[in-house]
Chain A
């Protein structure tokens, strides 16, 4: 039942539309313009208690136009990519640009920065998967989890598989296209004891379906993560070292990148304003972006403005070595774009890695956090206070599950207090990192 998706044909079609939109913008009076167009198609399956729950076929398309009249900017977008709609969208963007203010920093990224090295980074792996095959994979995943003794209920297993094409073009004459795919399988289970119910999940995700983990293993891991939470207690209130699971330490890197983003900096909304060159982490820690890594989650040779991406070293020997800038935020700060319009791509740590069990021993008595809840992070001040669940550790040994507590500190202190990074690297997302051991945080519990 899977719909055919001809990525090559879509690429040609989107390229034509992007060029049509740029030509029209110029003809109608825009001094500069940029267009992003995309088509994505996917199949989503969910099963629960051994039965199919939903079968969902998705196909999304869109075209977004930003144009400049002098130093004024207007944007419009539509999910209808017909010629009539492109014309209406360009006209609307032009109409809006009449009302925006003159902004000296507005405009396309400099022509000299446009990407010229455009290799195929191998991020497109279509999966010729029928609906029935997808259902079978999800059923196998859930069954393996439910077969584990102690699992009494299920939120089900889901498989999603999608591919898409995106095109970015601007009036410098730059045109970049990229085909990509993303496939994932997840399972969430429930267990119960006299204290109540607990749920947890596991997932696998990859651009190449051959790299997905075995469905049964994902189901079993979801079961084991769920069962280990039963009988959770509340930890004492006090100050303790905290070990962040790799799935959560990537979030700490995310907060760091949010504070290094040009938009937060020029709005004075970052706790890292004016910190370029200053020590933030211990000197053994570094962080680098590798956008040209072949086959990785976020690989791309050009950013959202067509600028050539590059290996940015954001943290070098513990110090803030670079901000993360688009053309606009760079102009606002009197700097150059770092090729990060649209964010950072493939962040990798430069740090000695410690076996995870040694991290527990180093921690001695403290908290291993495996889940965080709520927002609770203030990017302006770095203040950090979040709900958590995890495990109590004594003498380097895991004692019992804990829940209904918060961990609080400030990101400045947390980064400075990074004791070690684990070798248990989580490679599922665009940020690859192991566990992080932070020397001390305030825990509010009993």
Chain B
């Protein structure tokens, strides 16, 4: 589907028409943000409708609805950025915010205007309102079903909470380089969290997922049942978990969500801004070996309907498939327009912002390690004593020193090539480039995560995806409590 033309029409009718504005008015708006010495300016219009339903104790206790929107205006001069925004989409607001943004520069020469070009991009998801996919009664019924199934699954389950949320987002970008682009972005998610109690011990289990599609698909795919059962299974596993070991050992990561390893260990370090500023442990490594042979990592905004996918990014650049590491060699960075221009590279469709009230930055979309040749069972068999981690809470990286951590929420011991006792969640810590050099086996079972990731950078959260096959790192530090 190539939805750009109709998306622009839809976006104009939603974002501009109600205030009596049209596309021509944006030229005027842009002219305030331009001026002597300004290389580039853009207007970012956005409106979001957000809905959240929460079930506890078998009843829907919380339901909320939020409407947000406005315009963000940015003026760039060299490495300088001026930025202002307004909740009001009006001609006056465009003038005020434009003049404020342009105020950063006071001298230099005026650039010639560029002809307007509507960006042509393939649609990576349907431009629909996901909230309208189910009636309120159907939404409540889904949550109650999750509750019923989780409670019926095991007598140890003492608490169940389930949530259903969705966002309908409409954006329109108009930039001084001629860019005119729009995107209609649905995003939905269903989550189940349970507490299991047995013999005075209590543990949590959780599962969830979603993507860029209608809420009706969550129902059609029966996620209430699937995630309820999965949450119960995880809680019961954790009830049996023993203390995790401490120290260095081989670590096998399961397919899918454990791909947050890539997000933390390499992804952030390959964002253009950190490399332009020389603050990333990967700076200056282009063309060099930064991971073991066989390791290929891409940032892929084009995966159909995925949580991190983008038809166009927040600067109007089409979402792309961007190789970052190919067979262990660093081959690409993720770029927005500002950093690409300053580094003499091309934008890669990775400019993202939390909202119109935030500045865009180079960010990940779906970060994925491509499949290898190994049989997952053989990977487990190859480990004498180590850890098999299949689910994680979250992670963090210091892009300068390269140190990264991620915390397991479901993990097992591997003893003599066999998966044995579950272990309590432990934090794994390593150094990005070093850890990627220690990838020794890569499974053929590449899988995307279920659609739960939120990435934070400089205080801005954006939805992301990760994916990877089962893989083995010969050595990583496991932060358990058993040091013997």
Quick one: which of A387, A404, A445 has the most chain B CB within 10 A? A387
Closest A residue by C-beta to B63: A96
CB of B156 to closest CB in A, whole Å: 12
A238 to B405: give the CA distance in the assembly, Å.
19
A386 to B403: give the CA distance in the assembly, Å.
13
A367 to B20: give the CA distance in the assembly, Å.
64
For A237, list chain B residues within 8 Å (CB). Answer: 246-248, 483
Question: Are A387 and B429 in contact, CB atoms less than 8 angstroms apart?
Answer: yes
Question: Are B86 and A387 in contact, CB atoms less than 8 angstroms apart?
Answer: no
Quick one: which of B62, B159, B482 has the most chain A CB within 10 A? B62
Size category of the B interface is: 35 or more
Question: Are B481 and A131 in contact, CB atoms less than 8 angstroms apart?
Answer: no
Q: Which of B25-33, B274-282, B324-332, B466-474 contacts A (4 or more CB under 8 A)?
A: B274-282
Question: Are A442 and B62 in contact, CB atoms less than 8 angstroms apart?
Answer: no
Knowing A58-B85, A378-B204, A444-B477 touch, does A268 contact B158 (C-beta < 8 A)?
yes
- A113 at interface by CB-CB < 8 Å: no
- A403 at interface by CB-CB < 8 Å: yes
Question: Are B70 and A79 in contact, CB atoms less than 8 angstroms apart?
Answer: yes
Knowing A54-B359, A237-B483, A383-B424 touch, does A443 contact B67 (C-beta < 8 A)?
no
Closest A residue by C-beta to B80: A52
Question: Are A444 and B247 in contact, CB atoms less than 8 angstroms apart?
Answer: yes
Knowing A374-B396, A385-B407 touch, does A444 contact B430 (C-beta < 8 A)?
no
CB of B160 to closest CB in A, whole Å: 10
By DSSP majority rule, is chain B's interface helix, strand, loop, or mixed?
A: strand
Give the residue of B66, B79, B427 whose beta carbon is less than 8 angstroms from that of A386.
B427
Knowing A53-B81, A381-B203 touch, does A75 contact B406 (C-beta < 8 A)?
no
1/0 per position for A150-167, CB-CB distance to B under 8 A? Answer: 000101000000000000
Closest B residue by C-beta to A271: B202
State which residues 49-74 of A face B: CB under 8 Å.
51-61, 73-74
For B66, list chain A residues within 8 Å (CB). Answer: 76-78
Question: Are A376 and B405 in contact, CB atoms less than 8 angstroms apart?
Answer: yes
1/0 per position for A109-131, CB-CB distance to B under 8 A? Answer: 00000000000000000000001
State which residues 397-443 of A face B: CB under 8 Å.
403-410, 442-443
A234 to B347: give the CA distance in the assembly, Å.
39
Closest A residue by C-beta to B283: A197
State which residues 68-113 of B face A: CB under 8 Å.
68-70, 79-88, 100, 103-104
- A357 at interface by CB-CB < 8 Å: no
For B246, list chain A residues within 8 Å (CB). Answer: 237, 406, 408, 442-444
- For chains A and B in complex, what number of residue pairs have CB atoms within 8 angstroms? 246
Question: Are A444 and B405 in contact, CB atoms less than 8 angstroms apart?
Answer: no
- A144 at interface by CB-CB < 8 Å: no
Question: Are A444 and B65 in contact, CB atoms less than 8 angstroms apart?
Answer: no
CB of A229 to closest CB in B, whole Å: 8
Knowing A380-B202, A442-B480 touch, does A190 contact B400 (C-beta < 8 A)?
yes
Question: Are A55 and B61 in contact, CB atoms less than 8 angstroms apart?
Answer: no
- B37 at interface by CB-CB < 8 Å: no
- B374 at interface by CB-CB < 8 Å: no
For B103, list chain A residues within 8 Å (CB). Answer: 1, 55, 131
For A58, list chain B residues within 8 Å (CB). Answer: 84-85, 357
Question: Are B195 and A55 in contact, CB atoms less than 8 angstroms apart?
Answer: no
A230 to B66: give the CA distance in the assembly, Å.
47
- A296 at interface by CB-CB < 8 Å: no
- B367 at interface by CB-CB < 8 Å: no
Question: Are B64 and A75 in contact, CB atoms less than 8 angstroms apart?
Answer: yes
For A79, list chain B residues within 8 Å (CB). Answer: 67-70, 87
- A267 at interface by CB-CB < 8 Å: yes
Knowing A238-B483, A268-B195 touch, does A80 contact B60 (C-beta < 8 A)?
no
A60 to B394: give the CA distance in the assembly, Å.
29
CB of A334 to closest CB in B, whole Å: 15
Q: Which of A5-13, A98-106, A278-286 contacts B (4 or more CB under 8 A)?
A: A98-106
- B415 at interface by CB-CB < 8 Å: no
Closest B residue by C-beta to A413: B481
Knowing A59-B86, A100-B59, A153-B278 touch, does A373 contact B401 (C-beta < 8 A)?
no
CB of A165 to closest CB in B, whole Å: 16
A407 to B481: give the CA distance in the assembly, Å.
8
For B248, list chain A residues within 8 Å (CB). Answer: 237, 444, 446
Quick one: which of B65, B86, B424, B429 has the most chain A CB within 10 A? B429
- A48 at interface by CB-CB < 8 Å: yes
Question: Are A54 and B83 in contact, CB atoms less than 8 angstroms apart?
Answer: yes
- A354 at interface by CB-CB < 8 Å: no
Question: Are A55 and B405 in contact, CB atoms less than 8 angstroms apart?
Answer: no
Closest A residue by C-beta to B75: A55
- A311 at interface by CB-CB < 8 Å: no
Question: Are A155 and B277 in contact, CB atoms less than 8 angstroms apart?
Answer: yes
Quick one: which of A48, A232, A378 has the most chain B CB within 10 A? A378
Question: Are B430 and A404 in contact, CB atoms less than 8 angstroms apart?
Answer: yes
Give the residue of B62, B69, B80, B197 whose beta carbon is less than 8 angstroms from that of A268.
B197
Closest B residue by C-beta to A57: B84
9 CB < 8 A contacts A-B: A57-B83, A57-B84, A76-B65, A197-B400, A269-B159, A378-B425, A381-B201, A385-B407, A408-B244
Which residues of A line the B interface, CB within 8 A? 1, 48, 51-61, 73-80, 85, 88-89, 92-93, 96-103, 106, 131, 153, 155, 190, 196-199, 229, 232, 237-239, 267-269, 273, 373-376, 378, 380-381, 383, 385-387, 389, 403-410, 442-446
Q: Top 5 A-B pairs ranked by shortest CB distance?
A: A406-B479, A101-B59, A387-B405, A374-B405, A444-B246
Which residues of B line the A interface, CB within 8 A? 56, 58-70, 79-88, 100, 103-104, 136-137, 139-140, 158-159, 161, 195, 197, 201-204, 244, 246-248, 277-279, 281, 357, 359, 393-396, 398, 400-407, 424-427, 429-431, 477-483
Sample of 15 more A-B contacts, CB < 8 Å, known A54-B82, A153-B278, A408-B427:
A1-B103, A55-B82, A61-B87, A80-B87, A103-B61, A131-B103, A237-B246, A268-B197, A374-B395, A381-B201, A381-B202, A385-B426, A409-B481, A444-B477, A444-B479
